[in-house]
Structure 1
Amino acid sequence: MDHLFLNVLNVVLPVLICAGIGYCLALIRAPFDNKVIGGIVSRVGYPTLIISHLSTTKIAVGTFLDVMTAAALAIAGFGVLGFVALKLMRLPARAFLTPLMHGNVGNIGLPITLLALGDAGMAYTMGFVVVVLISIFTIGMWIPAGEFSPRKLATSPIIYAVALSLVLMATGYSLPQPVAKSFDILGGLSIPLMLLTLGHTLATLRIISLGRAVLLTALHLVMAMVIASALVWSFGFTGAERGAVILCCLMPSSVATYLFIDQHVPEYGPDVAGFILVSTLTTILVLPVALSYWV
């Protein structure tokens, strides 16, 4: 049992160490532009990472699409359950629903599934990441902003990266070698940059209400377990896709959602920041247990 737990920590600790370096960069006030790095990752890193992994990993297109469908249902489940819970708690959905709906499947989910489940697990997680990213930058922006903007969806390079990847997966074709190598290099930037950004951002967040942050974290974790169990059972997932779906549902609240709350409902920014920080720290305890007993 101790040996199993140690192996799980060996999966989780590299992620924490990389994020910790980003945290230290913030503490020493080293130059670090989150906006520039976020733009590079979302416009270049994510699309090339998606194409380079999905076009070369041998997974069934049908199962990959099932994972994407499961991701959409998971977001919807978090949305419905979160909305009801927030109403009962008398908290504004405009401020708290977006972070409750969207997990940090990019910064934490991708490296965790790569280390724990290999390339196949990471490829299935890509399906989850794609759906969550699209949702964050559409629904996740619309809820706190109170406006609808389909242009963001149509201009997202991630949409076109997924479309190209699905064509390559379905036809068996591959990219020209120079292009494929370039995408490998550019996609390889994503995970280290995401982890550094995660740590740097967490260092700048400030908790105002610890009790509310803990309550929201507990709520998010309970919803995650219910939704993950329902999805795995209803889709009949096994193996790497089962592990990927469970881990993605258990991911803490996405750091990216804080930016929208801080911009549109800044009076609740510290509360949301506290929720994101506490849920991220709780992951240190949740992931080893999940990897040991559930995945």
Structure 2
Amino acid sequence: MEISIVIVEQLLQMAIILLFGFILVKFDFLKSTGSQQLANIVTKFVIPIVLMLSFQRDYDGNQLILLGTALLGSLLIVLSRIIVAHILIKKKLKIDRYAVVFSNTAFMGIPIILPLLGYEGIFYLSMYIVTSGIAQFTYGIWILSEGKHPMTLRNVLTNPASIGAFIGFILYIIRIPLPPILYNGLDTIAGLSSPLGMILLGGYLARSRFKEIFLIKHNYWVVCIRLIIAPLVGLLILWLSPITDSSVLLVLTIANCTPTAVNTALFSQIYGGDYEYGARIIILASIFSIITMPLIISLSSLVLPI
């Protein structure tokens, strides 16, 4: 129950920042080009820095094993999402499939996990973010572009999430800590991840037509799959998996029930698709996640040792 309270508090704080982003756009202080620039900064620089810093810790062989279990759980959850989307979403509805498979783990998972587990939690969460990031830059782009952008090894290795985690992992393995001044500076930049993400979501909300967000039945079906069906399948997978560490399970549980990824709108705009429709799904899922995330995590705490 305490975890659920922390999550609700974090979500409400994030909602205040989202409202700030809404006001910035409504009063024309933040234009579309500015939002695009912010999105690029967060995706290409801030999140990789967060992932890199999560590896700044004393080397521990046991933690390395736990990192492997976090990677296993992440792969299983992402694969289950792809299967769920394939079964429940028609092939032609490419944005819906993307919205079901990929979650807002970096923007919403990081600020929830940090106060609960600190950078140790982000250490494990990095495996989910990297797994999801690789899938977004390969499978995700492939489905949004309808096969025009093929999945390549280059996309796997050169996406921002992979680069940030790879640099952090190398420093962790060779046991080189960053100088305190550099670490503190990068840590301040990393702290921008959640505020900027919520400002972007507020901007999407301000540019959307409320009628098309809340009065179209199909939107609710996509959000139901994203927030309820897919997380329940993910919970079943975690329950059946050999993962037993409580911290790893808590991190994967939170990642499992975060709402639709912001990239649903960003990538739709870049690779072909209805950018505004993607934004509406993001907004609706983010709103309802305030209810569903605590419920799913409370249910998970009854099933899993977290």
User: What TM-score, normalized by structure 2, do the two folds share?
Assistant: 0.83
Amino acid at match of 1:76: L
Partner deviation per Cα, 1:118-140 (whole Å, 9 max, x = no partner): 33223322221222122222221
CA–CA separation in structure 2 for the residues paired with 1:223 and 1:292: 16
Matched, 1:70 2:73: yes
* Alpha carbons 2:10, 2:112 under 8 Å: kept: yes
Partner deviation per Cα, 1:144-164 (whole Å, 9 max, x = no partner): 112215344443343232122
* Alpha carbons 1:8, 1:292 under 8 Å: kept: no
Relative to 1, partners in 2 of residues 1:230 and 1:21: Cα closer, same or farther, differing over 3 Å? same
State the aligned residue count.
Answer: 290
Aligned to 1:54: 55
Matched, 1:274 2:275: no
* Alpha carbons 1:51, 1:183 under 8 Å: kept: no
Aligned to 1:185: 188
* Alpha carbons 1:11, 1:116 under 8 Å: kept: no
Matched, 1:131 2:98: no
CA–CA separation in structure 1 for the residues paired with 2:281 and 2:189: 32
Report the alpha carbon displacement of residue 241 of structure 1 after superposing the two structures with TM: 1.2
* Alpha carbons 2:223, 2:285 under 8 Å: kept: yes
Aligned to 1:159: 162
Q: Residue 294 of structure 1: SS of its match in structure 2?
A: helix
* Alpha carbons 2:73, 2:238 under 8 Å: kept: yes
Q: How does 1:1-295 map to 2 (within 5 A)?
A: 7-32=6-31, 33-56=34-57, 60-87=63-90, 92-145=92-145, 146=147, 147-148=149-150, 150=152, 151-206=154-209, 207=212, 210-220=216-226, 221-266=228-273, 268-295=274-301
Report the alpha carbon displacement of residue 291 of structure 1 after superposing the two structures with TM: 4.2
Report the alpha carbon displacement of residue 292 of structure 1 after superposing the two structures with TM: 4.1
* Alpha carbons 2:265, 2:276 under 8 Å: kept: no
Bigger drift between 50-59 and 118-127 goes to 50-59
Partner deviation per Cα, 1:217-265 (whole Å, 9 max, x = no partner): 1122212111133124303233221111111111111121123334555
Amino acid at match of 2:48: P
Partner deviation per Cα, 1:63-95 (whole Å, 9 max, x = no partner): 1232123222212111111111124xxx62433
In structure 1, stretches of 5+ residues that fail to align are: none
Bigger drift between 202-211 and 128-137 goes to 202-211
Report the alpha carbon displacement of residue 7 of structure 1 after superposing the two structures with TM: 4.9
CA–CA separation in structure 1 for the residues paired with 2:128 and 2:59: 17
Bigger drift between 28-37 and 179-188 goes to 179-188
User: What TM-score, normalized by structure 1, do the two folds share?
Assistant: 0.86
Identity %: 20
Relative to 1, partners in 2 of residues 1:210 and 1:93: Cα closer, same or farther, differing over 3 Å? closer
RMSD: 2.6
Report the alpha carbon displacement of residue 5 of structure 1 after superposing the two structures with TM: 6.3
* Alpha carbons 2:95, 2:264 under 8 Å: kept: no
Amino acid at match of 2:97: L
